[in-house]
A and B are shown apart, each in its own frame.
Chain A
Amino acid sequence: MSGIIEVKNLSFSYTPQSTVLKDISFEVMPGTFLAVAGPNGAGKSTLLNLLCGTLRPKSGTIRIDTAAIESYKTESLAKKVAVVRQEFVPVFGFSVMEMVLMARTPYFGQLGFESKADRQIVNQALVETDTIQFASRPLANLSGGERQRVFIARALAQNTAILLLDEPTSFLDLKHQVGIYDLLKKAQLEKGKTIVVVTQDINLAAQYADEILLLGADSSYHIGKVDDVFFPEQIEKVFGVRIFTAKVGQEKFFLPLGKFAKDSRQINSKPNSSTHK
């Protein structure tokens, strides 16, 4: 079986002087949960924009479902890949329902209206994301966590095999962070979606993802199973910060420790991390 996303020798730069991504190759199997982590400026969001066709590679190839990404029309790519973006400013006050329905725009009939099937798909997406109870509320009247779930609902309503998300949990509290990841995991397990999440939260990534793509600011990268990529020395090196690692049951945690953290002295005396069972 070949990967649903295949990236080969991918390079990208915004200006000729600085390379963001350099010669990256990896493959994502269908139904995999991949987390893309790394420091600011490592090119995580850039990679996401390349995978959804917003940016064009400088060199190398991206294949979506075995076809080169350039061979897709905008409309047909939107039937394979759905995207949830980091920032968004709603201009005019659409309601939740109206917005999620827009995911079906390419399928609208001649009159520019949705079919019954479209409505069913949208309803299901709203139920799955637990947003149906405020379907008629304006988007702007929602909390950050609710709004993020609505955007995920819209992506689900596109009925794509691949779901890309750019930092879906930034600005959310702990409960909503876990809520978003549970939602994504459910979509992966129950519907076999391939999920690629760009995230700053390496702990959530370690808990939920099957594979990790760790991008370094120096254009290095590591990809593999969570345990093969996330180990203390590597995280310290890539993020350039001292890390305290702990393990509880199956879950591994990484805590960054700054110079003036309360317990920094203890860590300083034992420069390498300590691991508890």
Chain B
Amino acid sequence: MKELLTPRKLVVRIALAGIVLIVVMFVCSLIGAESVSLKAAFRGVGEHPAVNPDYEIFVKVRLPRIILAAIVGAALACSGVVFQVLLRNPLADPYILGISSGAGLGTIIAVLSGFNWTLWGRSPIAVFAFAGALGTVWLVWFIGRLTGKFHVTGLLLAGVVVNAFFSAVIMFLTSVAQSQQIHATIFWLMGNMTEEDFFVLWIGGGCVLAGILALFNISPQLNVLSFGEDDARNIGINTARIRTIAFAVAAFITAIAVSLSGLIGFVGLIVPHAVRLVLGPDHRQLLPLSGIIGAIFLVVADTLARIIVAPAQLPVGVVTAIVGGPFFLVLLVRHSRKVSWLK
């Protein structure tokens, strides 16, 4: 008999996954084009003018980037879980309601306008991408509301059309832009990890963690919501409230992820499915474990992106698709017998 999820089991699994994440992050921080000696790195900054190169690479370059990958991976995977249950659609991912094109549009506008101010250490690209992402989700949500109380189909169609429309605008702007500007945009659209300040990581990581905790807090209600709106209400779930929280938080953490690292595809689609295939659909477990496994997945993918063509770098979005796709298909074939939504 399949055992039920208990709090103890959940805590053990989250702790185990957390340990794996830390180990993976640690190992990945040692891998790279330059070999780094930990012993040397721990000696500290070093005396000026003779700086300690090991410390510089390890603490200022690798560590921030690995932490960034973990934050973004966790945000995208959790947001994917939420959009899949809210839209009751296995094809849903964090970008399905137009976040990607909205953020893309924000980016290209920032690039074309040639701003060079910063806001809390963020470039105009990041700020515009964040605003574009949230603005688009709000627009889609608003249009979806006009089509009915919470029409999943209406919302999906609104998302698809807004996506198509903004993509066309992006195409238009790209065609009038200069090649140098296009390069910056394209790189961003493919998903681009860079070395960030610790300050940015603290803020971004804090927001994402708070968002995931908020989502975990409503995960029993998300379970019921996957049985449909009316059923959930009859069981005593305030569906309007739960949906609004889930939707807003998922959009918010996605927008943060997008503004930190551009559009990284695939994490938000396959990580939730992979976890669901192996461990089942209970959101109390699915949500935290997807977050941790999404983080592990993106840390590994980004490490590969750093080293495959070193000293050059691949966009991490390319790696997530190339590595994640086949891996997911293997899982799908091996576990599909026990999942019903495929039949």
Contact = CB atoms under 8 A, between A and B. Distances in A.
A112 B219 contact: yes
A158 B235 contact: yes
Nearest to B220: A112
Q: How large is the interface on B (under 10, 10 to 19, 20 to 34, 35 or more residues)?
A: 35 or more
Contact of B340 (A54, A108, A138): A138
Nearest to A135: B1
Contacts of A108: 220
B237 interface: yes
A99 B282 CA distance: 10
Contacts of B233: 53-54, 74, 78
Contacts of A78: 233-236
Given A74-B233, A79-B236, A97-B4, A90 B220 contact: no
Nearest to A155: B234
Contacts of A54: 230, 233-234
B206 interface: no
Contact of B338 (A82, A88, A93, A101): A93
B278 to A, nearest CB: 12
Contacts of B228: 88-89
A136 B343 CA distance: 19
B89 to A, nearest CB: 8
A98 interface: yes
B195 interface: no
Nearest to A76: B236
Contacts of A102: 220, 223-224, 227, 235
Interface string A81-106: 11101001111111101110111011
A102 B224 CA distance: 6
A113 interface: yes
A166 to B, nearest CB: 10
A141 interface: yes
Nearest to A75: B236
Contact of B341 (A85, A92, A95, A103): A92
A60 to B, nearest CB: 21
B280 A93 contact: yes
B174 interface: no
Contacts of B4: 97-98, 101
A190 to B, nearest CB: 23
**Residue from A75, A103, A113, A140 having most chain B Cβ neighbours under 10 A:** A113
Contact of B238 (A74, A83, A90): A74
Nearest to A138: B340
Contacts of B235: 78, 102-103, 105-106, 154, 158
Contact of A90 (B90, B219, B340): B340
A52 B282 contact: no
Nearest to B88: A91
Interface string B207-223: 00000000011011101
A77 interface: yes
A136 B2 contact: yes
A261 interface: no
B343 A140 contact: yes
B226 interface: yes
Contacts of A74: 233, 236-239
B276 interface: yes
Nearest to A101: B4
B281 A111 contact: no
Nearest to B6: A113
B282 A139 contact: no
Nearest to B219: A112
A93 B281 contact: yes
B231 A88 contact: yes
A94 B338 CA distance: 11
B306 interface: no
Contact of A141 (B6, B7, B340): B340
Interface in A106-145: 106, 108, 111-113, 135-136, 138-141
B284 interface: yes
Interface in A43-93: 49, 52-54, 73-79, 81-83, 85, 88-93
A81 B234 contact: yes
A94 B221 contact: no
Nearest to A55: B230
A85 B231 contact: yes
Contacts of A77: 236
A112 B236 contact: no
Contacts of B339: 92-93, 138
B340 A105 contact: no
Interface string B132-148: 00000000000000000
Interface of B: 1-2, 4, 6-7, 85, 88, 90, 216-217, 219-221, 223-224, 226-228, 230-231, 233-239, 276, 280-282, 284, 338-341, 343
Given A101-B4, A112-B219, A135-B1, 12 more contacts: A78-B236, A82-B234, A83-B231, A89-B228, A92-B341, A94-B223, A98-B282, A113-B7, A136-B1, A138-B338, A140-B343, A154-B235
25 contacts: A54-B230, A77-B236, A78-B236, A82-B234, A83-B230, A85-B231, A88-B227, A90-B227, A91-B90, A92-B340, A95-B2, A95-B280, A98-B280, A99-B227, A101-B4, A102-B223, A103-B235, A105-B220, A105-B221, A105-B236, A106-B235, A106-B236, A106-B237, A112-B216, A112-B220
Q: Which 3 A-B pairs have the closest CB atoms?
A: A78-B236, A140-B340, A92-B281
